[in-house]
Amino acid sequence: MPKTPSIRTQDLTIRFGGHAAVNGVSCAFFPGELTVVVGPNGAGKTTWFNLVSGQLRPSAGRIFLGERDITALSPSARAKAGIGRAFQLTNLFPKLSVLENVRLAVQARAGQGHRLFARATALTGLTDKAMHYLDEANLAAVAQLPAAALPHGDQRKLEVAMLLAMEPDIFMFDEPTAGMSVDEAPVILELIARIKQDPSRTILLVEHKMDVVRALADRIVVLHNGELLADGAPGEVMAMELVRDIYLGVGAEEVA
């Protein structure tokens, strides 16, 4: 029996004025699969991501989460429905401790909203859960520090721990190693590789760096001028002449 996609876009299009930043993109994604969305600057990758997570509304086309049409849902309703997106540090509460940050995500997942002062008994359970996710992200040792005190790489890990605490079915990462040092980047990649081990999860990643693409991708989707140019296994896609052509001048040597 063919597998049901966990998320899919159908003829997804958004126009800004006369310009179609995303143009008729149809593709489906499956549990247990990590897809990297690549393409040159301005190809429409971030815009497509924003359409999927709900920050932008399409001019045409639809988005389905499983069988459910979520095109009209707000970003928060999509998050509740199972789409989790890591934003580049904009979701952190800098003055709260690392633990409190994750605990708030656990509370949000449990449907208790963002209350900092929950009842003591409830708090213990929430704290235990939060510590579990901090352990997964290798951040347990810094649980009591304010988020703002962490180095950039650890803040990005904290963001991933908060994403894990939301227990999404779909994980979306926009350039997860952007701004990281060479020492910090592998830790995030390892964390994403671990997330991928759970076959119920679908992972979407926008990435420019070919070493990251090579390390993680089960599949590559190439956008170009807002259109879907290629979609397939990494070796297959990277060997396509058209794909190599559009990368000429923007890292052709890296594609090789």
Binding site for ligand ATP (CB under 6 A): 16, 21, 39, 41-47
Is 70:6 a contact under the CB 8 Å cutoff? no
Token pair belonging to 122: 């409830």
d(CA 251, CA 256): 9
Task: Decide whether 42 or 94 has the Cβ nearer to ligand ATP.
Answer: 42
Indicate the DSSP class of residue 47.
Answer: H
Task: Decide whether 37 or 139 has the Cβ nearer to ligand ATP.
Answer: 37
The neighbouring-strand residues paired with 25 are 12
At its nearest, how many Å lie between ligand ATP and the CB of residue 64?
Answer: 21
Rg (the chain; Cα; Å): 19
Token pair belonging to 79: 């998050």
Closest CA to 44 of 233, 248, 221, 231: 221
d(CA 150, CA 198): 28
d(CA 165, CA 182): 27
The amino acid present at 154, given as its one-letter code, is D
Task: Decide whether 81 or 89 has the Cβ nearer to ligand ATP.
Answer: 89
d(CA 226, CA 124): 48
At its nearest, how many Å lie between ligand ATP and the CB of residue 44?
Answer: 4
Task: Decide whether 116 or 248 has the Cβ nearer to ligand ATP.
Answer: 248
d(CA 15, CA 4): 29
The count of C-alpha atoms lying within 13 angstroms of the C-alpha of 181, restricted to the half-sphere facing its C-beta, is 7
Three-class SS state of 17: coil
Task: Decide whether 27 or 150 has the Cβ nearer to ligand ATP.
Answer: 27
At its nearest, how many Å lie between ligand ATP and the CB of residue 22?
Answer: 7
